[in-house]
């Protein structure tokens, strides 16, 4: 007979497995970026079309995440997990091909389908199989996987950069996915759903479109600012401070992973109630505003700006974690949890499509700061709309 501590250890291992699975699903983009020129040469095209082809990865999540969530609700997370990994493996195999540019694009799109399944299915898994008191903490920690996964892709590419061995890098990614598939299937096989009476008390609560929208905006706005900041920060710092970023790609990637994990871990330890999650979100928003000012203010030094960049990374991990920890408050209907998770993920993906147009429309630091302050302020307002509704008797 398993003790409570045994089950706690098992649940912790489950969260780690799902985190790695989600991060490695995202790592494809970070893996391809350093090899754009080599892939273009192999396909006899210029680097430009290869670079723009990366957007195909985001297409499934940006436009059909809610559909992936509906599939998860229909077939269950235990079946969706291997399908997600297999789609990624097929996509990787097309990336290995050197035939046409469209094989690359279709491969990236299939990897994006696997990623969309991961973003929709992982929250459902936590909400269905973890004890109620652990769900918010797991979601808060898990929410930091995307930036960490992108950085992990860059790290995975580094050993193969000499000679542009992008096919070997893709093979290494496939090997990781196969290992995750084996470990994940064995881990999920031992999952047992807690008794309904312990997790679903009181009358059934209908899905609230307004709450889904409020939560979607709360987690999307900081994500959009984070993405926009990552787009303009290197060139902005070089232009304003007349230097190039000295840190190597490996150092930056490692620091980013550590900062994101630290932020997610701290928030996961602090959340647990709706009130705590909302309070943590607002605290991290205030830290984020300070970080954006330190990063963007032209009168600061390069050292202060770099500190602001890493402080912003920490604040963003906390904002993402605090927001996602409130997902169980919104996904109250067991039959639509996947749809809710997918819809929130779709909000985030759409912001990634729109942010480049917004950030590249100006070069003024005051505009960047205004984007950040307004987005974080609106996020704080919408997060207070995410409250548990009382069911009518």
Output the pLDDT for position 51: 79
Output the pLDDT for position 143: 86
What's the pLDDT band for 54 if we cut at 50, 70, 90? confident
Output the pLDDT for position 369: 93
Is residue 283 scored above 60 in pLDDT?
Answer: yes
State how far the Cα of 268 lies from the Cα of 41, in Å rounded to an integer.
45
DSSP letter assigned to residue 391: P
How does the average pLDDT of the chain come out, rounded? 84
Output the pLDDT for position 176: 95
What's the pLDDT band for 91 if we cut at 50, 70, 90? very high
What's the pLDDT band for 208 if we cut at 50, 70, 90? confident
Interval 55-60 mean pLDDT: 85
Is residue 376 scored above 90 in pLDDT?
Answer: yes
Output the pLDDT for position 25: 93
Question: In the structure encoding, which two tokens stand for residue 8, read together?
Answer: 């706690």
Question: In terms of Cα–Cα distance, which of 310, 143, 311 is closest to 220?
Answer: 143
Q: What is the pTM of this model?
A: 0.83
Contacts of 214 (CB under 8 A, 6+ apart): 382, 383, 385, 386
User: By the 8 A CB rule, do 233 and 360 touch?
Assistant: no
Question: In the structure encoding, which two tokens stand for residue 194, read together?
Answer: 């807690």
Output the pLDDT for position 246: 44
Per residue in 321-364, pLDDT (tens digit) is 888 888 888 887 777 788 888 888 888 888 877 887 888 888 89
Which range in 86-90, 146-150, 200-204, 276-280 is most confidently predicted, on average pLDDT?
A: 86-90
Contacts of 344 (CB under 8 A, 6+ apart): 212, 215, 216, 219, 220, 324, 327, 330
With tokens 């996509």, the residue in question is 91
Per residue in 60-83, pLDDT (tens digit) is 887 888 888 889 989 988 999 999
What's the pLDDT band for 132 if we cut at 50, 70, 90? confident
């Amino acid at each position: 007979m398993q003790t409570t501590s045994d089950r706690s250890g098992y649940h912790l291992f489950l969260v780690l497995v799902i985190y790695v699975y989600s991060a490695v699903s995202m790592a494809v983009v970070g893996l391809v970026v350093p090899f754009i020129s080599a892939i273009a040469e192999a396909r006899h095209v210029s680097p430009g079309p290869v670079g723009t082809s990366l957007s195909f990865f985001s297409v499934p999540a940006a436009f059909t995440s809610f559909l992936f969530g509906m599939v998860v609700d229909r077939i269950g997370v235990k079946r969706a997990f291997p399908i997600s990994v297999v789609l990624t493996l097929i996509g990787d195999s097309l990336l290995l091909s050197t035939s046409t540019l469209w094989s690359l694009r279709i491969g990236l799109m299939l990897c994006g389908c696997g990623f969309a399944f991961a973003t929709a299915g992982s929250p459902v898994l936590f909400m269905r199989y973890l004890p109620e008191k652990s769900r918010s903490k797991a979601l808060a920690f898990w929410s930091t996987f995307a930036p960490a996964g992108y950085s992990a892709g860059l790290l995975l590419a580094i050993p193969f950069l000499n000679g542009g061995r992008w096919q070997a890098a893709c093979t290494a990614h496939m090997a990781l996915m196969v290992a995750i598939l084996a470990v994940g299937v064995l881990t999920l096989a031992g999952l047992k759903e807690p008794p309904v009476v312990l997790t679903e008390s009181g009358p059934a609560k209908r899905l609230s479109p307004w709450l889904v929208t409020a939560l979607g905006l709360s987690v999307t706005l900081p994500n959009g600012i984070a993405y926009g900041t990552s787009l303009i920060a290197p060139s902005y710092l070089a232009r304003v401070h007349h230097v190039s970023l000295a840190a190597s790609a490996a150092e930056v990637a490692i620091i980013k992973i550590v900062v994101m994990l630290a932020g997610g871990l701290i928030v996961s330890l602090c959340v647990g109630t709706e009130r705590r999650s909302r309070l943590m979100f607002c605290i991290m928003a205030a830290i984020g505003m300070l970080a954006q000012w330190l990063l963007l203010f032209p009168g600061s030094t390069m050292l202060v700006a770099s500190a602001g960049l890493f402080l912003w990374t920490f604040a963003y991990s906390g904002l993402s974690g605090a927001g996602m920890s409130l997902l169980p408050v919104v996904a109250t209907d067991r039959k639509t949890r996947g749809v809710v998770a997918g819809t929130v993920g779709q909000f985030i993906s759409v912001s990634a499509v729109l942010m480049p147009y917004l950030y590249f429309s100006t070069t003024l630091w005051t505009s960047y700061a205004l984007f950040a302050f307004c987005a974080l302020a609106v996020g704080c307002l919408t997060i207070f709309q995410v409250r548990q509704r009382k069911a009518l008797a």
